[in-house]
Chain A
């Protein structure tokens, strides 16, 4: 049998126990004695009248301190963990059911194999997000075995090992395949920019096969990147742009443009730029920085900019072999501004331009259109039974007041309060009797 506290931080309030003592001391101090020639004319009954305000009785002081201590202990959520209590917790189940909105017609009751002490549904389009919310709710639930049921058709990519790994080990996991995936699905794959203009794309996911069909589009082809370079590098720049277009890059969103300044190797960055504040520019910089092709190609360039540290507000997006920045990004007006220290004729230039063009364009999420389900074997491997219930802590205590021994401490407070009142009354009675006796005498 152990005693734990559900809100141990509140035990600091035990310092309040010193309040009656401090009040006693302060009251005594405030009652500064004043000299007086004689007390013979002051009646004892009158003299006693103020005494009842002073806490001059040690037992009374102790009773008052005990009242405060019991009240603070009650607020802190005392919990005596007995084996009977543990067994009671283990007998009940708190269940969270995450239901993929695409799995129509699924009811939580149909998924439950046993009655739950408490249960809650989380309908979501993203299983990962639903699982996060379900876990948070389970952690704030009263002590019980905790179970998470995930109901979905489970297309590939809908849930990953990382999502499962984020679930606490004490929470049981059960996957229920609900709903059926279509055999094939055709979705818009987004327009692309090519050397021949804009082409619309359509992807068909048919079992393990994916077919992409392109058709010419009437939309005007606008190359979103303005390139500033030396006159003698123009030919290399044109070749780089042509190479990028040959690889088909997404058509950029409206208003999202970039400017690339190709400076000579070993030079410093000049020109006006500002801190990145526009969300799409920040997002684009992040995507460029995460481009593995760009990073690998940049590391083959022997030297970057002259300065090992870029002046503010430039931030490095690729690093040369010497460890110095090879490309840097900032914001200039309403554009993404990129400075490149790589020669125009170097392979880095077309790779950088491709990375920027891809970052400016919208990439369709074909994973949501997936028609191939996750294998049953993978799901079974990640299922597990709930662990025995753990004692409630933190927010859990507030969800179930029956799961603590607060009431006993409150009762103790009330009992002590009654004792304190009785002591006060009896002492007052005794004082008045004494005063009366003195007066009569």
Chain B
């Protein structure tokens, strides 16, 4: 049974390292093998000696025991470098309708931004734990991918210091992150992908062509998918400040259709481009969301 600490409980824990550890503990306990392959030069299998094989790979102890000549085979891998790209725009600072639909303070929920920070911290913790290099591109903060616990703490500190504001230059962040990955690496992008959809997708495509593996986490709240407001309500765009009054009852149908089309478009494009895509709703515990992503990754 996996540990699935509720998102709002995780949101209340200020120590991001502790949160990351909680998430990762709950995450790996149910996995049969490490979600990210160890990419060191490791033994793979034996095979019968064939003419021309390098004798230094012959296992002489095995010859002595079995009177048969076997050579060792190794898988040639390297340590992986990953870049976390976190959307720190104002639209991510949304935790749900809250008081507008009289759910009460207890149902305020976790903001998309906080959810992204926690998920990023957990991923960083997971990657660093197996010796991979982790970097961060979020808001104005940039950390080049490096391995080691010291660097992990820097990444977590940088994540803690991020604030959701203004708009997200998603395309620029993706481009910078991809360019900082000096060899083939892993690009983990956590965003609602509202900003500059086409340019962002273009840069993701470019990163993929550069040989990077691209993993997208599209993070949304349940309320922005379902628009649960009652009757008349005036909404303020968190990024532009524009205000619009709507009759939520009348607007809901067309809104949910439009959001569904938007999400389907991202899912379809990601699949077409060979990205790994996960839609994450903030009322799902981060452990479960990451676990689902990693299991899907294992299957692919």
Contact = CB atoms under 8 A, between A and B. Distances in A.
A and B: real partners?
yes
Interface of A: 31-43, 46-47, 49-51, 53-54
B194 A47 contact: no
8 contacts: A38-B194, A38-B239, A42-B244, A42-B246, A46-B251, A47-B246, A47-B251, A50-B234
Nearest to B224: A37
Contacts of A32: 234
Interface of B: 91-94, 97, 99-100, 112, 192, 194, 221, 224, 229, 232-240, 242-247, 250-251, 254-255, 258-259, 262
A109 B192 CA distance: 97
B235 A33 contact: yes
Q: Which 10 A-B pairs have the closest CB atoms?
A: A46-B251, A41-B258, A37-B91, A36-B235, A50-B245, A33-B236, A34-B100, A50-B232, A31-B234, A47-B244
Nearest to A28: B234
Contact of A47 (B229, B239, B245, B259): B245
Contacts of A34: 97, 99-100, 229, 233-236
Contacts of A39: 235, 237, 240, 242, 244
A32 B98 CA distance: 13
Contact of B251 (A33, A35, A42, A54): A42
Given A34-B97, A47-B245, 6 more contacts: A33-B234, A35-B235, A35-B238, A37-B112, A38-B237, A41-B255
A32 B99 CA distance: 11
Contacts of B236: 33-36
Contacts of A36: 94, 224, 235-238
B270 to A, nearest CB: 19
Given A32-B234, A46-B247, A47-B245, A37 B94 contact: yes
Q: Is the interface of B mostly helix, strand, loop or mixed?
A: mixed
A34 B237 CA distance: 9
Nearest to B244: A47
Contacts of B239: 37-38
Contacts of A40: 194, 258
Q: Is the interface of A mostly helix, strand, loop or mixed?
A: loop
Contacts, number: 88
- Report which residue of A33, A36, A39, A54 has the largest number of chain B beta carbons within 10 angstroms of its beta carbon: A36
Contacts of A42: 235, 244, 246, 251, 254-255
Nearest to A56: B245
B242 A37 contact: no
B94 A43 contact: no
Contacts of A43: 251, 254-255, 258
Contacts of A50: 232, 234, 245-247
Contacts of B259: 41
Contacts of B254: 42-43, 46
Contacts of B97: 34
B255 to A, nearest CB: 5
Contacts of A46: 246-247, 250-251, 254-255
A49 B233 CA distance: 11
B232 A31 contact: yes
A49 B100 contact: no
Contacts of A37: 91-92, 94, 112, 192, 194, 221, 224, 237-239
Nearest to B100: A34
A43 B239 CA distance: 18
A283 B100 CA distance: 75
A51 B250 CA distance: 13
B245 A31 contact: yes
A38 B241 CA distance: 10
Nearest to B257: A41
A76 to B, nearest CB: 37
A38 to B, nearest CB: 5
Contacts of A31: 232-234, 245
Given A32-B234, A41-B255, A46-B251, A51 B94 contact: no
Contacts of A47: 244-246, 251
Given A34-B233, A39-B237, A41-B255, A49 B194 contact: no
Nearest to B221: A37
A31 B92 CA distance: 24
A36 B97 CA distance: 8
A53 B250 CA distance: 15
Nearest to B252: A46
A49 B246 contact: yes
A38 B197 CA distance: 13
B229 to A, nearest CB: 7
A39 B194 CA distance: 10
Contacts of B242: 39
A243 to B, nearest CB: 95
A31 B232 CA distance: 8
A441 to B, nearest CB: 15
A42 to B, nearest CB: 6
Contacts of A53: 232
